[in-house]
Amino acid sequence: MKKAGKLIRVLAFLVGLVLIVLLIEPLFRVGDERISQTTQGFYQEKKNSLDAVYVGSSNVYAYWQAPLGFQEYGLAVYNYSLPQMPINAFKYMIEECRKTQPDALYIMNLNAFKTEIMDEATMHFSLDCMPFSSTKVKLVNELAGQLGYTGLDKLEFYFPLLRFHSGWSDLETIDFTNYYNGMKGASLYSTFLQTVTDVTALQRVTDRRAELTEKQLTVINDLMQYCQAENVKVLFVAVPQAIKNERSVWELNALYDMVRENGFDAINLLDGKAAGIDFTTDYYNQSHCNIHGSLKYTSFLGQYLVDNYGFEDHRGDPAYDSWQKASELYRQEISPYTLDFERQYAPRDYSLPALDLSTSVVTGQNITLKWSQVENADGYAVYRRIRDAQKKWSEWTLAATLYGQTLDYTEYDLLPGTTYNYTVVPYRTEGETTVYGKINHTGTVLTTTLNAPKLVSLEEGENGMTLTWEPRSGAMDYIVYRAVKGESWEQLDTVDGTSYTDSDYHDHLPYVYTVRGRVLSNGQPVNGLYSKTGLLRYADIEAPTVIAQRTTDGQLQLSWEPVTGASHYYVYKLTGPEQWERVARTSASAATAYTGAIDSQAYKVCAVMEQDQEIYEFPSEIVEVKGGEQ
């Protein structure tokens, strides 16, 4: 019985150990979702189903997007790319991938060979998600030896739990899921999708060749010998990259020559010209393309593979349904960040500059875009996207195509309290082909408010003065204002309905009423527009009280106190029986006085009130002047 009990405990221990390895250990792998997505997806691909496997570092997953290659060419080219993959790991990665894809073309990321940097994190990037096998053992020994790991110290590269067991507190919900997004390793991280960086100042273009280091020569020769011995089909590619260190460019030129001299196919795309790369807009940092450069690179390399390797178009083949779904889903995911003609690979002309929209304006629910004329442009394409309550952008959509030199565009009655992003792209035409210029990927971001409510009526009743207006769609409530004619607005109240009764006012004052709606925008109430004219409660304003004096030089001076509600004043003189001629108009904001020659026996001053183009005059008493004209 004791022996049986001991055996049970041993078995329980072994089962627990297996559970740790299979269930808990993956939680402590290096925390980069791109690595997990790449490896999970690769091992789900059917055996011998891939046209090519693209092996390398981040220069692969930031450039080649497998769903786009399938969408445009029907290619099944999967990225087996991991951040900062060491150059001496390439041979083992090919060996690992060939276990399921022996007949595939292997595309090598030549840019990775310009550097020899490797550390513990780099090792974990390459090893943590690789299944245990003899290949993994060889790779661990290769990399660990380079960093000086020996004996049991190497165990952490088989079981990351040994190294990162203290990281329980850093685990998040996503760490406990084994979710594969079906994107074939395509990139969706935010900097790749959203960042645009001009890297032209970092670009170095030269034909010079450098003498390679001993390690570079050892690794590249070992890799080539392995591929030749195993009959591996290989294509080496140097991707377009802004490389500040000119020696690194010399090294890549030398590596390119070396692989070609050994009979391997190779492409040197460093300067970006062949792939149509624009170093001002197509990068998120000096080493990596953004989504805009990636679209161009994927299209170029896909065409090269079709032209030079004769791969079959798998579109429509039921065996590649997962690729079709990936292409549709990825297209949907990138649509908030790319314009339709980018995704359609339309011709481009980078001499047509990106447009500045900084002078664009918002007026309530109307947005007016303004830009400067572009030489040689035949017109402009206006695009917009909308941000939702979760601050996610909708797909970029074509709002208008403008022909000729129209340099502004207005959209009316847009959704209130809504954030819009616009960009305008110059284009020219070549026959029936549209050639687009550069894109201002940031564009201009503008948020609408509410248009002014339409005022319906202002009526005085037993309970007071009632203002009514038409509702505005999207309004959360309304703010009612009142002002004595010609003075500042005062807020009376905030109401939910479309009417308000003011019972606290003075009969003799001319009041103007107006209302504005409020709308929720990004979770905050924002005031809309209002009618500055408003509706007037007509009232007899006071007439001016005028004082007449003679100046020392014998002229007439009339003066009076300001009248509440008056917008300005008219000065009249008597020219005949009941005939008055206006001799002056003074602003209500200016001095309330008039000086002039005495050329009449009588004068009067009228306080003037204007409303809706109607003029109301309130005359003072007549001032008689002795010694005036008869």
Q: Which fold has domain 361-447?
A: Immunoglobulin-like (2.60.40)
Q: How much is the pLDDT for 459?
A: 94
Q: Contact, 306 vs 75, CB < 8 A?
A: yes
Angstrom distance (rounded) from CA 205 to CA 240:
11
pLDDT tens sequence across 200-210: 998 888 889 98
Which among 183, 287, 191, 300 is positioned nearest to 245, based on CA atoms? 287
Structure token digits, residue 171: 């685990």
The pLDDT mean for the chain works out to: 87
> What is the pLDDT confidence band of residue 56, given thresholds at 50, 70 and 90?
confident
Angstrom distance (rounded) from CA 607 to CA 490:
23
Structure token digits, residue 514: 């107006």
* Mean pLDDT, rounded, for 348-371: 97
> What is the pLDDT confidence band of residue 22, given thresholds at 50, 70 and 90?
very low
CATH superfamily, region 546-624: Immunoglobulins (2.60.40.10)
* Mean pLDDT, rounded, for 368-394: 95
**Choice between 39 and 529, residue whose per-residue pLDDT is larger:** 529
Q: What is the pTM of this model?
A: 0.78
455-537 is classed in which CATH architecture? Sandwich (2.60)
**Choice between 2 and 309, residue whose per-residue pLDDT is larger:** 309
Q: How much is the pLDDT for 14?
A: 52
> What is the pLDDT confidence band of residue 604, given thresholds at 50, 70 and 90?
very high
Residue 224 has pLDDT above 60, yes or no: yes
Q: How much is the pLDDT for 588?
A: 75
> What is the pLDDT confidence band of residue 384, given thresholds at 50, 70 and 90?
very high
* Mean pLDDT, rounded, for 146-174: 51
> What is the pLDDT confidence band of residue 113, given thresholds at 50, 70 and 90?
confident
Angstrom distance (rounded) from CA 410 to CA 433:
27
Residue 1 has pLDDT above 80, yes or no: no
Residue 613 has pLDDT above 80, yes or no: no
Residue 108 has pLDDT above 60, yes or no: yes
Would 28-334 and 361-447 be classified into the same CATH topology?
Answer: no
Q: Contact, 420 vs 365, CB < 8 A?
A: no
Strand runs (DSSP E) across 34-145, as ranges? 52-56, 77-81, 105-109
Q: What is the DSSP letter of 176?
A: G
DSSP state letters, 168-231: GGG--GGGG-----SSTT----HHHHH-----GGG--------PPPHHHHHHHHHHHHHHHHTT
pLDDT tens sequence across 280-322: 999 999 889 999 999 999 999 999 999 999 999 999 999 999 9
Largest CA distance in the chain: 142
Q: Where are the domains of the chain?
A: 28-334, 361-447, 455-537, 546-624
Percent of the chain whose predicted confidence (pLDDT) is above 70: 84
> What is the pLDDT confidence band of residue 148, given thresholds at 50, 70 and 90?
low
Q: Which long-range contacts (CB under 8 A, 24 or more apart) does 167-170 make?
A: 167/28, 170/31
Phi first, then psi: give them for residue 46, nearest 5 degrees. -65, 150
**Choice between 29 and 369, residue whose per-residue pLDDT is larger:** 369
Angstrom distance (rounded) from CA 255 to CA 268:
10
Q: CA dihedral in degrees (253, 259, 263, 268; nearest 10)?
A: -40
Which among 65, 527, 606 is positioned nearest to 295, based on CA atoms? 65
Structure token digits, residue 102: 């022996």
Q: How much is the pLDDT for 305?
A: 98
Top-tier CATH class for 28-334: alpha beta
